[in-house]
Amino acid sequence: MTPEKKRTELRELGEFRLIEHLTQNAIPINSSTIKGVGDDAAIISPEGKRMVVTTDLLLEGIHFDLVYTPFKHLGYKAVVVNLSDVYAMNAKPKQVTVSIGVSAKLCLEDLDELYEGIYLACRHYGVDLVGGDSSSSLTGLTISVTAIGEVADEKIAYRSGAKLNDLICVTGNLGAAFMGIQLLEREKRVLKGVTGAKPQLDGYSYLLERFLKPEARKEIVEKLDEFGIVPTSMIDISDGLSSEMMHICKNSEVGCRIYLEKIPINEQTFRLAEEMNLDAFVAALNGGEDYELLFTVPIGLHEKIDEIEGVKVIGHITEQDKGVYMVTPDGNEIALTAQGWNAIKGE
Amino acid sequence: MTPEKKRTELRELGEFRLIEHLTQNAIPINSSTIKGVGDDAAIISPEGKRMVVTTDLLLEGIHFDLVYTPFKHLGYKAVVVNLSDVYAMNAKPKQVTVSIGVSAKLCLEDLDELYEGIYLACRHYGVDLVGGDSSSSLTGLTISVTAIGEVADEKIAYRSGAKLNDLICVTGNLGAAFMGIQLLEREKRVLKGVTGAKPQLDGYSYLLERFLKPEARKEIVEKLDEFGIVPTSMIDISDGLSSEMMHICKNSEVGCRIYLEKIPINEQTFRLAEEMNLDAFVAALNGGEDYELLFTVPIGLHEKIDEIEGVKVIGHITEQDKGVYMVTPDGNEIALTAQGWNAIKGE
């Protein structure tokens, strides 16, 4: 925060005027949004589709650090991580609600930036902000988002539908967000107490973006739809590939083989991992916050899947008693463990 | 917390096992709940109805004080305050999601009590717990609930439909919850630093219950439906009668006259107000947290409304330029102000 920045204290407004101010741009664009902000509840017309509902809580000091997280990015990310869960059901997000608990250290201009990011994500993904709640908080900033989407019944992709011999597919690349936060944390440590110094982030802008302003894989779900493909199972990668693969195998009562060398990893991820003496594959397997999609399709769709840009086949589904394993290039099999990103253990 | 109480630290479980543990009893009962807890999102089939969505954030130190709030009551209330918003649309709640941020001072047994209250409310109101999120919190307990309901399009009651000469109706009685918290805060102050002493709460159990374990007015919405009445406007009273009446008048572009002596107030509310040198009518007008319903109906329904137990006519709708006024028994007109309960100003 630069000293020149205007600072309007929240207590000057009060709750009702704050809500009015923050939601004045919340004009619904989706035909399924019958009534958005401004009543006891929003009204949605599902138009014959199934509704998908998911929610995530973001807490200051646990999920984000305001030292290196711009408010606009934070608002964008808070929406995106929820939309990612909607896409993971093979559904299209249509509405979000956003609740915030705000400590006295924040001013109206901070919240304006936060909501700029929220609205930007809404526009980019075509969703309506239809409700929420705001309150003061005695402590840190709290953000709770609920996302609502729609999907035809026959297109829902649960975690539980993976079948023997299905191909295991992953979108984009993994481990970049984890390396992004490693970099930010390193620079925070280095610069602690040093005034005027600037963090050394050159050459890793992709990693920072992956952590600070992730995207949900809208275009993949649209492409699958266009190709007439319904994944037999799907999940979004928020806790690392290992953990998500185990969820699919457990829920589908199957095993799997993932091939280590097939896991897609970005060049910057490899480079920073080497610089920091970390293992890029561990970042991909256990890092989390990638918000890529992990899904399975019948083996007969191999050629079709190869045509979709940004999707890579990394393994296949086995019988359950074969276990959940990763295969290294030299043929060793290593059992996957759900280390994952664990908000409770990680305290 | 008594010293004998078993204490299981949350870090012993980790996030996934905690979620599994807390949601093991979340078995859907509503036919519209296609898939509840256990995937990236819940799936809901709206069965041709409109969907209603509302959300509320409850923060420790702002909305509740663990010094005098039992966890079970808190869980119950967190659900009920959201259901109240669903009923206020003349809709029936069907699903809730519950997200919690938990500080290290809480143990698993505390959360079990919290969820006991959550499940109790779900059973009582016939709603399914279909999802949520859990995380550690660096500070206090955070609870975010989203409630989803359904309603036929032609039965939705917005805030905006009140018409000239409509009757203004209110359910139950007002101001009791406000007096309940005054009592609890008084005893907290008196007992501060005093060990072994017990708070003096005798004779006011109704007030305590209204604050600690409020109910949403399910039976009123059912009764209105049974009588074929669709309110022209409706809102739930969470911020005091004044503030809610102003919301209806503003959204409906009308004015109103409310008769002071017709505002329903419980005997315990009057008694404690006198004891504490407070005004029971101020508690009713500005106290909040009553979770009663305030609604309007055409004047022709006067006799029908009189038949519904627990509903009282307190005034009528006027033209907008007549303003939003309360009439005292001696005929004075006092403009209502939206003092309300204000979570942002109240810090």
pLDDT (tens digit per residue) in A258-298: 999 999 999 999 999 999 999 999 999 999 899 999 999 99
Cβ distance A104 to B52 less than 8 Å, yes or no, reads no
Question: Which residues in chain B are closer than 8 Å to A46, comparing Cβ atoms?
Answer: 46, 51
Cβ distance A41 to B62 less than 8 Å, yes or no, reads no
The answer, yes or no, to whether residue B345 has pLDDT greater than 50, is no
pLDDT (0 to 100) of residue B126: 95
User: What is the C-alpha to C-alpha distance for residues B55 and B37, in angstroms, rounded to an integer?
Assistant: 18
- Residue B3's pLDDT band (cuts 50, 70, 90): low
Minimal-distance CA residue of chain A relative to B85: A40
Question: Helix, strand, or coil here: B255?
Answer: strand
Question: Residue A194 carries which DSSP code?
Answer: -
**Residue A40: which of B35, B102, B236 has the nearest Cβ?**
B236
**Residue B144: which of A51, A57, A343 has the nearest Cβ?**
A57
Gap from A131 CA to chain B (nearest CA, Å): 7
The per-residue pLDDT for range A112-139, each reduced to its tens digit, is 999 999 999 999 999 999 999 998 888 7
The answer, yes or no, to whether residue B4 has pLDDT greater than 70, is no
pLDDT (0 to 100) of residue A346: 34
- Residue A51's pLDDT band (cuts 50, 70, 90): very high
Cβ distance A138 to B43 less than 8 Å, yes or no, reads no
The answer, yes or no, to whether residue B221 has pLDDT greater than 50, is yes
pLDDT (0 to 100) of residue A244: 95
Domain B13-153 belongs to what architecture?
2-Layer Sandwich (3.30)
The answer, yes or no, to whether residue B68 has pLDDT greater than 50, is yes
Cβ distance B344 to A15 less than 8 Å, yes or no, reads yes
Question: Once rounded to an integer, what is the mean pLDDT over residues A43-67?
Answer: 91
Minimal-distance CA residue of chain A relative to B131: A54
**Residue B16: which of A13, A234, A338 has the nearest Cβ?**
A338
Q: Of the ranges A69-83, B18-32, B47-61, B135-149, which is most confident?
A: A69-83
- Residue B340's pLDDT band (cuts 50, 70, 90): very low
| ipTM entry | 0.90
Question: Which residues in chain B are closer than 8 Å to A39, comparing Cβ atoms?
Answer: 89, 158-160, 251
pLDDT (0 to 100) of residue A339: 62
The per-residue pLDDT for range B162-180, each reduced to its tens digit, is 999 999 999 999 999 999 9
pLDDT (0 to 100) of residue B204: 95
Residues B102 and B141 sit within 8 Å (Cβ to Cβ): yes
Cβ distance B13 to A344 less than 8 Å, yes or no, reads yes
Cβ distance A135 to B59 less than 8 Å, yes or no, reads yes
Question: Which residues in chain A are closer than 8 Å to B15, comparing Cβ atoms?
Answer: 342-345
Give domain limits for chain B.
Answer: 13-153, 167-335
What percent of chain B shows pLDDT beyond 90?
75
The answer, yes or no, to whether residue B347 has pLDDT greater than 80, is no
Gap from B131 CA to chain A (nearest CA, Å): 7
**Residue B54: which of A60, A131, A147 has the nearest Cβ?**
A131
- Residue A27's pLDDT band (cuts 50, 70, 90): confident
Cβ distance A136 to B343 less than 8 Å, yes or no, reads yes
The answer, yes or no, to whether residue A39 has pLDDT greater than 70, is yes
- Residue A254's pLDDT band (cuts 50, 70, 90): very high
Cβ pairs A/B, distance under 8 A = 244
Cβ distance A89 to B43 less than 8 Å, yes or no, reads yes
Cβ distance B91 to A41 less than 8 Å, yes or no, reads yes
CA-based Rg of chain B, rounded to a whole angstrom? 21
Residues A180 and A247 sit within 8 Å (Cβ to Cβ): no
The answer, yes or no, to whether residue B346 has pLDDT greater than 50, is no
Check residues A24 and B315 and name the one with the higher pLDDT. Answer: B315
Question: Once rounded to an integer, what is the mean pLDDT over residues A199-215?
Answer: 92
DSSP A82-113: HHHHHHTTT-EEEEEEEEEEE-TT--HHHHHH
In 3-state terms, chain B is what percent helix, strand and coil (to 5)?
35, 25, 40
pLDDT (0 to 100) of residue A12: 78
Gap from B275 CA to chain A (nearest CA, Å): 31
Question: Which residues in chain A are closer than 8 Å to B102, comparing Cβ atoms?
Answer: 344
A176-191 and A267-275 are packed helices; what angle lies between their axes, rounded to 10 degrees? 40
Gap from A330 CA to chain B (nearest CA, Å): 33
Question: Which residues in chain A are closer than 8 Å to B100, comparing Cβ atoms?
Answer: 57
Cβ distance B59 to A88 less than 8 Å, yes or no, reads no
Cβ distance B39 to A158 less than 8 Å, yes or no, reads yes
Residues A153 and A51 sit within 8 Å (Cβ to Cβ): no
Question: Which residues in chain A are closer than 8 Å to B97, comparing Cβ atoms?
Answer: 53-55, 146
The answer, yes or no, to whether residue B208 has pLDDT greater than 90, is yes
pLDDT (0 to 100) of residue A138: 85
Closest by CA position to A46, among listed B148, B217, B93, B255: B148
Cβ distance B344 to A11 less than 8 Å, yes or no, reads yes
The answer, yes or no, to whether residue A19 has pLDDT greater than 90, is no
Please, which residues have CB within 8 angstroms of residue B66's CB and are 6 or more apart in sequence? B60, B74, B141
The answer, yes or no, to whether residue B11 has pLDDT greater than 70, is yes
Question: Which residues in chain A are closer than 8 Å to B158, comparing Cβ atoms?
Answer: 35, 39
Question: Which residues in chain A are closer than 8 Å to B160, comparing Cβ atoms?
Answer: 39
Q: Which CATH class is domain A167-335?
A: alpha beta
Q: How far apart, in Å, are the Cα atoms of A183 and each of A180, A265, A271, A279, A341? A: 5, 17, 12, 14, 17
Gap from A161 CA to chain B (nearest CA, Å): 12
Average pLDDT of chain A?
Answer: 91
**Residue A56: which of B86, B133, B138 has the nearest Cβ?**
B133
Q: Which CATH class is domain A11-154?
A: alpha beta
Cβ distance B14 to A135 less than 8 Å, yes or no, reads no
The answer, yes or no, to whether residue A1 has pLDDT greater than 50, is no
Question: Once rounded to an integer, what is the mean pLDDT over residues A57-73?
Answer: 94
Question: Helix, strand, or coil here: A169?
Answer: strand
Check residues A118 and B11 and name the one with the higher pLDDT. Answer: A118
Question: Once rounded to an integer, what is the mean pLDDT over residues B294-320?
Answer: 97
pTM value is 0.92
The per-residue pLDDT for range A83-98, each reduced to its tens digit, is 999 999 999 999 999 9
- Residue B22's pLDDT band (cuts 50, 70, 90): confident
Minimal-distance CA residue of chain A relative to B63: A135
User: What is the C-alpha to C-alpha distance for residues B177 and B182, in angstroms, rounded to an integer?
Assistant: 9
Minimal-distance CA residue of chain B relative to A152: B45
Question: Helix, strand, or coil here: A237?
Answer: strand
Question: Which residues in chain A are closer than 8 Å to B54, comparing Cβ atoms?
Answer: 40-42, 97, 131
Closest by CA position to B235, among listed B53, B81, B85: B85
Question: Which residues in chain B are closer than 8 Å to A291, comparing Cβ atoms?
Answer: none
Average pLDDT of chain B?
Answer: 91
Question: Which residues in chain A are closer than 8 Å to B291, comparing Cβ atoms?
Answer: none
Tokens of B238: 């969470």
Topology alike, domains B13-153 and B167-335: no
For B7, other C-beta atoms within 10 Å of its C-beta total 11
Cβ distance B41 to A235 less than 8 Å, yes or no, reads no
- Residue B1's pLDDT band (cuts 50, 70, 90): very low
Question: Once rounded to an integer, what is the mean pLDDT over residues A213-228?
Answer: 97
**Residue A44: which of B40, B51, B55 has the nearest Cβ?**
B51
Question: Residue B329 carries which DSSP code?
Answer: T
**Residue A57: which of B16, B91, B99 has the nearest Cβ?**
B99
